[in-house]
Every structure is written in structure tokens, then in C-alpha cells.
Amino acid sequence: MRLQHLHLLLTLAKTGSLRASAQILNVSQPALTKALRQLEDEFGTELVVRTPKGVRLAPAGELIATRAATVVREIERAREEVAWHLRHAEAQVTVGVSPVAAILLAPGAADRFGARWPQVKVRLRDALYPRALEQVRAGELDMALGPLPTDGIGRDLVVQPLFDSQAVIVARRSHPLARAKRLVDLMDTAWVLTGPAGGPGDPHNLRFGAKDGRTPQVRLECESFSTLLELMARLDVIAIMPKGFFDRYGPRMDFVHLPIVDALPNTTIYALHRADTPLTLPARRLLEAFVAEARDLRTAKAA
């Protein structure tokens, strides 16, 4: 079997016509028919069904065409990558990652990408919105991974959802309210706001259900999750934290997530980049690696 045979099946499936396929492939119709016959002889079965209105793939032809599409895409991708490699000896991709994206996606994506693109330097930067959006728009980041503002973004950015991150309420194990089950019980304790006001780390977004108009007491604000860990290790404060982040760091620092029975929000993590500037080939391949990691993460959660 040759690559031309794979193109032949895919073109027949698309056009439903021997004549049209011959024109697209720039061969004569007799030559196309001969190639098709050779392919059918190789597999020992009919691959194309001829009808008065044209041709269509037989069941065996459909099976082969499905595989052929993957093979053709991979060969085209290899050619594209080799051509890029010959013209660009060195390159770099700069990505802004939120804390949960850094933990759950970055290691696996960097490993996938590095195995195929060892000559490309990947720069990972801590990035919280809205600053991450500004950096992407300014060209400081090729792309960013993280949550989006609740009021959305403009059409100047391309946005792709990756996975949902569950929020948990966290305190050190010795906190007096470490076993609290209702949000309303946490109204008068000291909270830490992580990231921007109105973001996933803002306790004002939670539904406390207080009937007297009270709001949570934000005593500290910080942008860095490493700073948050240090604050919580020393102070009786409570904070909202992505579950993936807590699972990685919480137990080793003797933190607990409170057994809250009230519904807590999910935060969708997105990949985003500028719409008016196409990603470079390495950046596109790195984005594909992040998407693959997110897909595996969703599959693992479902299992």
C-alpha cells in the first residue's frame, strides 16, 4: 500500500465520483481505477461500491479510510514539523499558567511537547487574570491557561475550555472552625482573598445564605498561592482553593478542606490566545499537548 492509495480512498469518500477524484488527484481515470483495483486485491475485498449516481465506500473501505485519515494527518504533520525545524534552529513559547493549570497540566504537557520538540524552549510563567489577559493581548504571552472573568472577554481572544476545577474551603487542621459544615458558620471568621476581587478566590462569590445582610470578613488579600500557603500555615484564616491545588499541597502542610454541605462553585480553566496573531507551529503543538493533558484529566475523573 502506498500513500497515494490512502489519498485515493479519502478523496473518493469526499467526492463520491471517480472522475472528480481523478481530477483532484491529477491522474487519469483509468489510472485511478487501476490503483483502486490493486488496493482491493491487496485487502481481498471490495472497497468501493459503484452506483448509477457515482461511488461510495463499502464497509471495508470505510474502515480503511478511518485509519487512512489518521495516517495522512500524521505524515502531513511530520512534514510540517521537519520543514519548520529546518528553518528555525531555535525557538521559544511563553505560556502563562494559573496555579491549578500549573499543577495538573503543565508537567505532562511539557513532557509530551519536549519529547517531540526538544529544540524549543518553553517558558512557563505564573499568571492570574486579569493580568494574564493583559499579557496575552500585549504579546508578552503566546497563550495563557486559567479562569476567565465572570463578565467574559472580547472577541480579540480565542478561548478553548480545558477542564472544570472544583473549589474547596481550606484551613489549617487546628482552626476552630475546621469541622464547620455550613458556609453561614464562616461569616465572622477571617478570610483570605486570593487573586482579584470577584475571581474564584473571592469569598464574596459564595452563597452564605445570611439573612441579616452580613458579608464574609476578608482580612488579607494576596495574589500568590505560595504566599497563601505560608499565611494559612501560621494564621487562623480560611481561604478558597482549587481542589487540585489542595490535593497537592494541603495534606503535607496539615491543612484540611472543610466538610461544607453547601454547593461550592466550579471554575472552568481555559486556554486562550490572540485571535489576530496566529500561533507559531511550536505554540500550536504545545497547545495540543495541554489539550491532551486536559482530556486525560477529564477521563481520569470520569473513571
- Cell numbers of 205, please? 462569590
CATH number of 91-164+268-302: 3.40.190.10
- d(CA 172, CA 175) in angstroms, rounded, equals 6
At 25-82, the pLDDT tens digits run: 999 999 999 999 999 999 999 999 988 888 899 999 999 888 888 788 778 767 777 7
Residue 187 and residue 210 in contact, taking contact as beta carbons nearer than 8 Å: yes
- d(CA 36, CA 9) in angstroms, rounded, equals 8
CA neighbor of 288 nearest in space, from 77, 102, 81, 113:
113
CATH topology of domain 3-87: Arc Repressor Mutant, subunit A (1.10.10)
All structural domains of the chain with their residue ranges: 3-87, 91-164+268-302, 166-264
Give the single-character DSSP code of 259.
Answer: -
What's the pTM value of the predicted model, to 2 decimals? 0.71
Band (pLDDT 50/70/90 cuts) for residue 1 is low
At 9-21, the pLDDT tens digits run: 899 999 999 999 9
The larger pLDDT score, comparing residue 211 to residue 116, is at 116
Domain covering 166-264 assigned CATH 3.30.43.10 in the classification = no
Same fold? 3-87, 166-264 = no
- Cell numbers of 280, please? 507559531
Cell match 481523478: residue? 22
At 200-250, the pLDDT tens digits run: 899 998 988 777 778 899 999 988 888 999 999 999 999 999 998 999 899
- Cell numbers of 137, please? 493581548
CA 206 to chain centre: 26
Residue 154 pLDDT greater than 70, yes or no: yes
